[in-house]
Structure 1
Amino acid sequence: MIMASALLLRNGKVLVRAEKISLATTRDDIGHGTHTASTAAGRIVDDANFYGLAEGSARGAVPSARIAAYKVCDTSDCDEADILSAFDEAIADGVDLITISIGNTDAADIYSDTIAIGAFHALQNGILTVQSAGNSGNVSGSVTSVAPWLFSVAASFMDRRILDKVVLGNRRTLIGNSINSFTLNGDMFPLVYGKQASTHCSEDLAVSCSAGCLDKNLVKGKIVVCDSTDGVIGEGLRAGALGVLARAYVDDVSQIQPIPAVLLKPHEFEVLLSYLNSTKAPMANILKSESFNDTSAPVVVSFSSRGPNPIAPDILKPDITAPGVEILAAFSPNVSVSEYPNDKRSVKYAVISGTSMSCPHVAGAAVYVKSIHPDWSPSAIKSALMTTARPMSSSKNPDAEFAYGSGHLNPVEAVNPGLVYETTEDDYLTFLCKLGYSKEQISLISGNKSFSCPKKSLSDPNDVNYPSMSASVNAEKSFNIKFRRTVTNVGVANSTYTAKVESGEKMKVTVNPKTLSFTSLKEQKYFDVSVVGKGLASRSQVSASLVWSDGSHFVRSPVVVYSM
């Protein structure tokens, strides 16, 4: 059930929790809650590092914010009643914002999604909830944070990466993924292939260094080569190997290892195997990890869950992306830094990856916006961050908006967005009607038993006043879609905005009217966006962007049409 570990936040307080905590206390005994909390609101600390890696001044997004922790999980699971109770407690305590890095492994109907229900209650009290989008990888429709009132966050790289080098006996250097704090004492050490380091497992299991296969006498003082990733590091640790070199299947993220270990991309691993077969006495050395500059950033990481939204197909999810790879932040010194019980290292700072890490970046940015605009609604704050997000490259991110939503977090611009898309509670309830939910199902979400769906003909769910625009269409059939939107002026009282559209050849986007003139702040204007196309191939998508600008503000919304 639990995707990552927890958290709930505020400007006055940041509501935070770890994924698995002891029954007797809210003290973090996994490290994840500490890490996410300090990312959102930790104070400035000089010379923070993980054994010299990622060294520098560390700080949370809003160092002046205060944190309140609410226990919702025990050592094995997170009880839904406890999650709802934590939302209620946070609301009663007057938090300004909730950030929660918990989620389901699969998307659930909104009326049965505990976090969506708790977040709706928070919304009713003027509180925005930020949630991690999921770590289910680049699989279509894997996003699990689906309700439109949730702020759903994907994870992307920043320009600092941590990698490791392996030097072979022939002086060939291979580069792989690892956060390795160890330095081996010596120049070269013997290599042994997994199938040669086991006396009691089949060759297939031994090659992969499966659990219990490695013979302690055969790996002592040696670096083991394993043709697999899952669990091989722990097996090398159990058997007492000097180090481990393994084939990586997720090859764009480095994790903290309990012993000298490197995960190699397939082509690098094949070079290693070729070297093993070329000599009777293969040798290697695993160096300590180093930081590298990644000029391609930001790019959405492979583990970050993708759209389209499996529950509400016409609401684009995730909403935004933020740094979530190899993030240095505070860590509980009483917890194994690599999650292996035999790893006894104790640290104050660790490097972790996940949408759990990107989520508090956005939460902190939202609190920053709220601190400057305390009267803004949750939807206005969300809109400000989405419409000012930096556009990202679809050539670097093949899933495009289904990977990064509106783009990469840009908090400095969000405090002055010019226009915002505001959504009311009734708008969300009507949206649920459009999804086909019954009065009883809607009341499970809202607690409002008196609400009834409008009797008049319902328009499409894509008419909810959302900062992005998305619609699913039938494959191979022409489409004609209309989005109705309302924007509120929060920039300059007397201002005129002009619409600019950028789109590809497969669809035509028109805006009516093309200019919006305002004479006062908080004034609202309506417009329609029409999208026409001749048809899309099965399981394909096309996108455009709509930008409203008065010359100084640039209010950008992605427009996505896709076929199921």
Structure 2
Amino acid sequence: MGFPENVKRNPTVESDTIIGAIDTGIWPESESFNDKGFGPPPKKWEGVCKGGFNFTCNNKLIGARSYGSDSARDTQGHGTHTASTAAGNIVIGASFNGIAKGTARGAVPSSRIAAYNVCIPNQGCSSKDILAGFDDAIADGVDLITISIGQTSAVALDNDAVAIGSFHALQKGILVIQSAGNEGFRGSVASVAPWILTAGASITDRGFVTKVVLGNGSVLTGKSVNPFKLNGTTFPLVYGKEVSAKQCDEEAAKECIEGCLQDNLVKGRIVLCDDFVGRREAFRAGALGSIGTYEDVKADVTFIVPLPGSALTKHDFSVVQSYINSTKAPKIDILTSEPIRNLDAPRVASFSSKGPNSIIPNILKPDVVAPGVDILAAFSPKAPPSTIPSDKRSVSYSILSGTSMACPHVAGAAAYIKSLHPDWSPSAIKSALMTTAWRMNVEHNPDADFAYGSGHIDPVKAADPGLVYETVQDDYVKMLCGLGSNTTTIRNIFGVNVNCSEGFKINPKDLNYPSMTVNIGSFESNKSIPFSEKFARTVTNVGRANSTYKAKTSISSDYSINVNPSILTFGELNEKKTFEVTISGKFTGKMISAALEWSDGVHNVRSPIVVYID
């Protein structure tokens, strides 16, 4: 992210910044939450430490609450991981069993944390508990909220607990950052409310590989997080179908389906399974190790294995199949994982949920992307690192992937900006992160803006964005009215006393949003659709008092963009200027990905412009 330890900071304000983490709780004894060097909690803090039995808060972890269970202590690891990513201390020498060893730190290590456990193991996170967590976090005095949980798919805003809770937060000047979801396909983004900052996930330039060595000397490179070191050179290799119970059919046996492997036949052997999920059954049966393939595993996700194991590409897996079929006594070795450099990073992770927005088609989601693959952060020693319950290992730091991991990166960046600009509104902070994000490589991300939104965050540039798009509560309410929301619903759910008259409605595309998006309907493949769409926007000067910004737009034979006025001249800070953007052309494909950039020679304020069809 270009966010080194020595970035400019405002330590006093950063120490007064409180991040509310609504998740699976927290592990208070983690070094990432040690309060050495911290003074007392900020005076504005009105929260409590109700973490349950044997749970102690401190001057770093200043508050904890739990809903639905009797403890805020994290037994799943997820909440500890996300909280430490956003605001964990600087911890030297952190690693997962020696893998990824280095310095772990949150984006704002001097900030305080308040944890709200709204999830019950094996039961999920109920809307009732999520809303209670929001209400308490708001009343406690947090400055922003990070929440890496939500629906698996988008739902109507008045039925979305996070959308409702975050609207209440907005009313108190609190920005909410939420993960986009992990479904990965087009139109799957689950966090869709425009008052939320929605985070998608990107890969980083560090990955992990696990090499396997066949008895004939061939070396194949697979993926996993494998800290195990086998004591020897090579070990017997058997195919799942050779060591399975008779009641399992051939396909189930090849895949090492649960209950198929016979314990007495796999002991001391490494098992080949057609599906990498077979590692679970190999572990249960007591195998020495497991080799699988990417068949049902995303190639950019690396899983922690409960036993020595590696996932191979289909091609390399077929090499092992040929070897095992042609060798009388096949043998194999699985090496400890090692780091590699991902040369195509950052790229949007395959699992990261993408737009378009199924609930509000004229609002682009996700808003931004941030690192979300192979992230090392604090973990609960009570949680199995491989997610397999019978894995009894205990670790203090672990490696996870998901938009859940991207969300606290963005939240930490938002807290950093707030520490430098304490008086900025939630929409100003959100705008700063969006308009300074850099557009990613379209060749690596064919879904373009639907995959990365405004782009990959750049926290240092976001601290000085030049211009911001301010959006206030009434703007969002007008949009809700424009969407056809019932007046009673808005009053009851969002707590706003409003009458959705004709003068109090706007099309979502006219919301003063840092991106510009419009859906122009359906498309017939044998026709081109002429279109002309207009966006009205207002920017606020937060850069230099006397400044002049000139508009620059993307150019294409498919469209033309007109900006009126094309020059904005400011004479003072916080001055506002309004302009209109018109994009016209003939639509012949699925999506037009364009952009407007305002520049004063120092700041570049970029907004994506997206025109698309259903």
Q: TM-score range by the shorter chain?
A: over 0.9
Provide the residue aligned with 2:137 in structure 1: 90
Q: 2:229 aligns with which of 179, 183, 189?
A: 183
Provide the residue aligned with 2:201 in structure 1: 155
Provide the residue aligned with 2:63 in structure 1: none
> Bigger shift: 459-468 or 547-556?
459-468
Aligned 8 A contact 2:479 2:506 in 1: no
- Using the size of structure 2 for normalisation, the TM-score is 0.88
> Structure 1, residues 238-281: CA drift from partner, whole Å, max 9, x if none?
11111111111311111111101111122221222222222222
Provide the residue aligned with 2:28 in structure 1: none
Deviation at 1:558, TM superposition (A): 0.7
Deviation at 1:473, TM superposition (A): 1.3
Provide the residue aligned with 2:563 in structure 1: 511
Provide the residue aligned with 2:104 in structure 1: 58
Is 1:561 aligned to residue 611 of structure 2?
yes
- Using the size of structure 1 for normalisation, the TM-score is 0.95
Is 1:344 aligned to residue 361 of structure 2?
no
> Bigger shift: 235-244 or 528-537?
528-537
Report the secondary structure of 2:221's partner residue.
strand
Provide the residue aligned with 1:223 in structure 2: 270
In 2: Cα distance, 1:190 partner to 1:424 partner:
66
In 1: Cα distance, 2:600 partner to 2:76 partner:
49
Report the secondary structure of 2:81's partner residue.
helix
Q: How does 1:242-391 map to 2 (within 5 A)?
A: 242-248=288-294, 249=296, 250-391=298-439
In 2: Cα distance, 1:87 partner to 1:10 partner:
22
Aligned 8 A contact 1:35 1:331 in 2: yes
In 1: Cα distance, 2:168 partner to 2:369 partner:
25
Deviation at 1:457, TM superposition (A): 8.8
Is 1:15 aligned to residue 62 of structure 2?
no
Report the secondary structure of 1:545's partner residue.
strand
4+ residue runs of structure 1 moved beyond 6 angstroms? none
Aligned 8 A contact 2:19 2:415 in 1: no
Aligned 8 A contact 2:18 2:113 in 1: yes
Deviation at 1:13, TM superposition (A): 2.3
Deviation at 1:340, TM superposition (A): 1.8
Q: % of aligned pairs identical?
A: 56
Q: 1:439 aligns with which of 471, 479, 487?
A: 487
Aligned 8 A contact 1:153 1:362 in 2: yes
Is 1:549 aligned to residue 599 of structure 2?
yes
Q: How does 1:102-251 map to 2 (within 5 A)?
A: 102-137=149-184, 139-200=185-246, 201-230=248-277, 232-248=278-294, 249=296, 250-251=298-299
Provide the residue aligned with 2:31 in structure 1: none
* Unaligned runs of at least 5 residues, structure 2: 1-13, 26-65
Deviation at 1:18, TM superposition (A): 4.1
Deviation at 1:41, TM superposition (A): 0.5
Report the secondary structure of 1:478's partner residue.
strand
> Bigger shift: 451-460 or 32-41?
451-460
In 2: Cα distance, 1:49 partner to 1:418 partner:
39
> Bigger shift: 204-213 or 435-444?
435-444
Is 1:528 aligned to residue 528 of structure 2?
no
> Bigger shift: 117-126 or 65-74?
65-74
Provide the residue aligned with 2:72 in structure 1: 26
> Structure 1, residues 106-161: CA drift from partner, whole Å, max 9, x if none?
10001111100000000000000000000112x11100000000000000011111
In 2: Cα distance, 1:416 partner to 1:312 partner:
30
In 1: Cα distance, 2:318 partner to 2:353 partner:
29
Aligned 8 A contact 1:430 1:454 in 2: no
Aligned 8 A contact 1:543 1:559 in 2: yes
Report the secondary structure of 2:588's partner residue.
coil
In 2: Cα distance, 1:492 partner to 1:514 partner:
19
| AA partner of residue 66 (structure 1) | R
Provide the residue aligned with 1:487 in structure 2: 539
Deviation at 1:11, TM superposition (A): 5.8
Aligned 8 A contact 1:504 1:542 in 2: no
In 2: Cα distance, 1:199 partner to 1:492 partner:
74
In 2: Cα distance, 1:309 partner to 1:391 partner:
19
- Residues 24 and 133 of structure 1: CA distance in aligned 2, closer, same or farther (over 3 Å): same
Provide the residue aligned with 1:417 in structure 2: 465
Supply the RMSD in Å over aligned alpha carbons.
1.6
| AA partner of residue 109 (structure 2) | P
> Structure 1, residues 443-499: CA drift from partner, whole Å, max 9, x if none?
244211x30123249553200000011111132421110010000000001100000
- Count the aligned residue pairs: 551
Report the secondary structure of 1:49's partner residue.
strand
Report the secondary structure of 1:277's partner residue.
helix
| AA partner of residue 164 (structure 1) | T
> Structure 1, residues 40-71: CA drift from partner, whole Å, max 9, x if none?
00010111111211111110010011111122
